[in-house]
Structure 1
């Protein structure tokens, strides 16, 4: 993963009760793990691998929870699921709920309205312990690429653990039953089964991380081997207890060295977890295994000193509190210095201590709850319902996207009506009148991220991992009976025009097919292998007689240059040889409000500055995709349609790029256009295609009313 895409790491959570005193070395390992995570999130120099603290926690948690389950199975001949989850509820839910509720309330007070809906969805997923899959889905969603980190992103690891704990007790019960029926040794059979599962998960982790490190990072299946490694130590305890003390001490020192090396050797560019995660996983397992053989070794005494035990005891609450605290700081003080971030992280220690004393311990050690599993589980359900209800309130009270332009003109407001039927559209004489403040913006700034174009809404843009073009009978737009077939190919910068092209195709009698793929312009070099494979297959498809289009429309965003022209031409060659005409749509540039912080979007700025949007104006910026698109059009002698004058009108005269034109917000994610603004550009695009000789509607018959998308499919 890249450093920018790398998600916050999270801890394993259980401070499981065992018979006898809790091992000091394990408490110290918890302290090491949470300090790694804090150092990484605060941004301390030399902590580039601190996110791997989560891997340390996973091994610890697998060891402690399995110790409980195996002891119960061997001593009682059974495992009580209600008792297991009652213990989990008493331990995990009180602090988790307090932090989720606090985070939701803080988001309600501080976050822009548009991000409150997202936070509510994330808190709901965190409450149900499935938020890791929500984040994994975003890793293949190109539109989420520049989204702000979630305030509850650290809950992903709790979700992984709880999903593991759903399966693991049931598997132990199954193995116990099989061992009884087949008259096999329970622990031996469980060891064989677990070893097989650990090996399978490790192999899948390596394979999936190589293919898709973003989704692999959050996957329970790629993380189960780390929890399983800790669990195997329990089953190997008799053998480990016989290890000689010098060997045990050497293993402990070596394990600590591996964990320390992870902190400085690994960074955000390391594909994770995969084989690289063996470093902290094996290191942690070695320390725990050494403690089984020699509980009072020098490394164990070092880990068990009072300050480390103190931090280890606070590690769960400290982990829960530190990330939302740092996220809140980033929202209100995006330029906060390292010392300020350190102070906030230290303040999380105080919050963790208060939570432990006032919430966690009173619930966990309550005699009333300990005696009554039903009461405990009911209390847990109430806690989850509380955070879930508050999150749901954020979601259901959020503004909803309006699907019509509601009388707003958008780009049409810039056009001199007298020029509509002429070969050259002219800007109105007073463009400033089209970019001034309005009473109501379209869409509502809080819903801009939902204002997507037609093909994306319909699920017709292939995600970043996909390698297969859309099925031949799906994702068709325009006139279903049209004689002219148009293929829209390229990345999301091509797809964003699907709404306008659909409306043009209806009037022209074209059948429009969407073939776009996220982060994948029509090239087969310099991108991911999945992109190259997709484009090669699509290229062949477009050259087949039964699929060959009459017109190919393409565009591209950032990350491409003139050196890729040969690649693009080669992919277009089968369609060209079949008689297709190519239209190249210029890239669109992004906006960054010059009067706001670096991470504030145009629509967030407009949500705050509705009466005076001056801080939300942007300096003109180049459209990076044109480095490829302009030479491509020249090489093919193809039509090059550049609508930038209608996206950032007259920046020299007006003093920059307006955040809204004709009452319609121009940009959404990054440099993409809002679906509403694209629809307002439909007649301008249609006019350009007619002038270029691609479309045949007479200029005086082009429809200048706002385009309307069909209903969501």
Structure 2
């Protein structure tokens, strides 16, 4: 008995209904995880189940062909993959472009076009991996094609695995392998080990250091497909186990998969070694289900309704995510019930695609007798999708330009719009429109329409301080203290700026002040890392941010040594501490955070450095450029209550209060002057995402920062 089977409907099909049922389980996990993460936080492990199934099925098909014909035909293999996968994938790519054009804000159009190109070429996982380490892209909305990353991994595996099989079996014919099956299995397992073992080791290592990137890259996922392949290679041996053992294995496999889906969540460091739960679970189900018979889960997985879901699982996977993204863009955050309803609705296009695209092309006699015709079809599907993605760039042509801000400090002053006006008139730019007393100023009140917006929301993501282009910020895995200097480089007055990206967005304002006062300004910045003498957690809260701790140690040494500044300006997100394997939350977490910040700031102040803490800015509860580009005539939709927006930074106020030598500067009245935080003030877009100022608006805050610093230095 050989565990490996052919695809459904293939010649001499050995179709296994339990495998179809496992596909149903996998896709239901993924869909539920996307639609209702609160109910099934680890639903993403369904993708790992798919990987094991794919490795098993593809290897089984190739081995069957090798035994039957004595060779592996690359043309026939790739032709089968092309007609099975590419038409449906290409259809959803093109439809996703149409959905983007009709329903998504224009700010997403260009990126979606490139996502279609990457998805059509099956390299979307590498594009997402690159974005995962790009902090500037971290707060942007999820791509409508983000789910294509897993298809890219599988296609890349399909590309290399037949070639490796041919290399491993080189010099032997099918009859020779049938005469010595043990030698064939040994060679194949060696080939799998060469691929799988380094991939698993790399997955564990990279997941520890950079879990966001590890999630997407092919090199951390190959071992999962190789595991499925190994089961196909060992099929004959594994199928001889006792029925009771097979049943126990199969049911324990289901339990492992479900446990992973329930216990894992977005903070789990995945894949790494934890991916063994769903992958080994899938593997032992494949091994034991058939042998266990009615005592195992095969009867349940083989039920008609379950197999029906498994049959459309590919199309269902393709359709559900674009519909969820569109629904969220149009209606805001979806309730669990609404998201599940949208997901259920995706069954309709999935069934239509399966019936009128997948099945007719898979069963077409033309492609059976002429595999090259299937390759041409696949190339056409890919070509159409890639061409559509490239042409979609014309919808945002010419691209908006990054604004050029005058070098001189803007003056304080401004005009007030007439009472009751919902249209903001042109006047002094940005915060300058708020006058000397910004709190409550009508010029900062949210309105529905403005005459113009600078920067254009389509260019807002790129309206960032110079420090990003000049690579002045240490990346997450980099503990090197990087510096950049601005202003009068020969000045004896040195002002240092240290912290995370929420310190970085003050660079334009501080640059202007340094230039005006002829100071030398030096930056010390690191991604998601404050100036703090304490164990800060990684962004996912899963472990101590070791490179941040090391960076802080080196930075404190510099700032108290030869690089000691006259003034140290600090700003950052309010962080919690990490101890005893967890983030300290609740009131105790706030108390410890306040104590640690106060202690860190006081220690540097005791060395004679004037310490200035700029209170963190108000947080919006949406991606502001995305919202503004979608609601240009209803900008009041893009606002957040002031008390909610400011709540996150209260611990900083407490930490600075009573700390000797520490001065708190609070400019938030000029960022959120009224009871709701506006997206646009004085014709300037305030935010470039949810919690970072545009460089343009930060620059208009320079006079206020200058005056506050002057008070400190008196």
Q: TM-score, normalised by structure 2?
A: 0.82
Question: How many angstroms does 1:127 deviate by?
Answer: 1.9
The match for 1:272 is 270
Question: How many angstroms does 1:321 deviate by?
Answer: 1.0
The match for 1:563 is 592
The match for 1:315 is 313
8 Å contact kept, 1:408–1:663: no
Summarize deviations over 1:306-334 as a string: whole Å, max 9, x none.
22222211110111112222222223334
The match for 2:512 is 503
8 Å contact kept, 2:475–2:527: yes
Report whether the alignment pairs 1:445 with 2:439: no
Choose 551-560 or 513-522, whichever is displaced more. 551-560
Change in Cα spacing, 1:84 to 1:361, as seen in structure 2 (3 Å) is: same
Please give the secondary structure, in 1, of the residue aligned with 2:648: coil
The match for 2:91 is 98
Choose 278-287 or 482-491, whichever is displaced more. 482-491
Q: Distance in 2 between matches of 1:326 and 1:517?
A: 34
Question: How many angstroms does 1:228 deviate by?
Answer: 1.1
Q: Distance in 2 between matches of 1:410 and 1:367?
A: 73
Report whether the alignment pairs 1:356 with 2:365: no
Report whether the alignment pairs 1:692 with 2:702: no
The match for 2:549 is 532
Summarize deviations over 1:351-380 as a string: whole Å, max 9, x none.
222112211222223333344444433332
Q: Distance in 2 between matches of 1:451 and 1:638?
A: 31
8 Å contact kept, 2:403–2:454: no
Query: Residue 466 of structure 1: which of 478, 498, 509 is its match?
Result: 478
Summarize deviations over 1:64-88 as a string: whole Å, max 9, x none.
1112233344555544444332222
Summarize deviations over 1:538-570 as a string: whole Å, max 9, x none.
22233442x443432211123355634664566
8 Å contact kept, 1:414–1:428: no
CA RMSD in angstroms, aligned pairs only: 3.5
Question: How many angstroms does 1:89 deviate by?
Answer: 1.5
Report whether the alignment pairs 1:476 with 2:496: no
The match for 1:553 is 569
Report whether the alignment pairs 1:583 with 2:592: no
Question: How many angstroms does 1:535 deviate by?
Answer: 1.5
Query: Residue 58 of structure 2: which of 60, 65, 70 is its match?
Result: 65
The match for 1:135 is 128
Please give the secondary structure, in 1, of the residue aligned with 2:522: strand
Question: How many angstroms does 1:574 deviate by?
Answer: 8.5
Q: Distance in 2 between matches of 1:310 and 1:322?
A: 17
Q: Distance in 1 between matches of 2:439 and 2:348?
A: 62
Change in Cα spacing, 1:408 to 1:53, as seen in structure 2 (3 Å) is: farther
How many residue pairs were aligned? 657
Mind listing any 5+ residue stretches in structure 1 that lack a counterpart? 1-13, 418-424, 593-598, 695-713
Question: How many angstroms does 1:494 deviate by?
Answer: 0.5
The match for 2:329 is 331
The residue correspondences of 1:45-194 to structure 2 (distance < 5 A) are 47-76=40-69, 78-177=71-170, 185-194=183-192
The residue correspondences of 1:338-487 to structure 2 (distance < 5 A) are 338-398=336-396, 399-405=399-405, 412-414=412-414, 426-427=436-437, 431-432=441-442, 438-470=450-482, 475-487=484-496
Q: Distance in 2 between matches of 1:511 and 1:344?
A: 56
The residue correspondences of 1:519-668 to structure 2 (distance < 5 A) are 519-523=528-532, 524-528=534-538, 529=545, 530-545=547-562, 547-559=563-575, 563-564=592-593, 567-568=596-597, 580-592=609-621, 599=622, 601-611=623-633, 613-621=635-643, 622=646, 624-625=648-649, 627-628=651-652, 631-632=655-656, 634-649=658-673, 651=674, 656-668=676-688
Change in Cα spacing, 1:493 to 1:663, as seen in structure 2 (3 Å) is: same
Change in Cα spacing, 1:426 to 1:352, as seen in structure 2 (3 Å) is: closer
8 Å contact kept, 2:499–2:524: yes
8 Å contact kept, 1:179–1:189: no
Q: Distance in 2 between matches of 1:631 and 1:415?
A: 36
Question: How many angstroms does 1:634 deviate by?
Answer: 4.7
Summarize deviations over 1:669-701 as a string: whole Å, max 9, x none.
22221111011222332333234328xxxxxxx
The residue correspondences of 1:194-213 to structure 2 (distance < 5 A) are 194-213=192-211
Question: How many angstroms does 1:140 deviate by?
Answer: 3.4
Q: Distance in 2 between matches of 1:648 and 1:340?
A: 32
Change in Cα spacing, 1:403 to 1:20, as seen in structure 2 (3 Å) is: same
Question: How many angstroms does 1:96 deviate by?
Answer: 0.6
Please give the secondary structure, in 2, of the residue aligned with 1:199: helix
Question: How many angstroms does 1:95 deviate by?
Answer: 0.6
Q: TM-score, normalised by structure 1?
A: 0.83
Choose 269-278 or 155-164, whichever is displaced more. 269-278
Q: Distance in 2 between matches of 1:217 and 1:18?
A: 37
8 Å contact kept, 1:666–1:677: yes
Change in Cα spacing, 1:281 to 1:618, as seen in structure 2 (3 Å) is: closer
Summarize deviations over 1:634-670 as a string: whole Å, max 9, x none.
5241343322232233x2xxx5443322211112222
Report whether the alignment pairs 1:489 with 2:506: no
8 Å contact kept, 1:555–1:587: yes
Change in Cα spacing, 1:562 to 1:40, as seen in structure 2 (3 Å) is: closer
8 Å contact kept, 2:684–2:697: yes
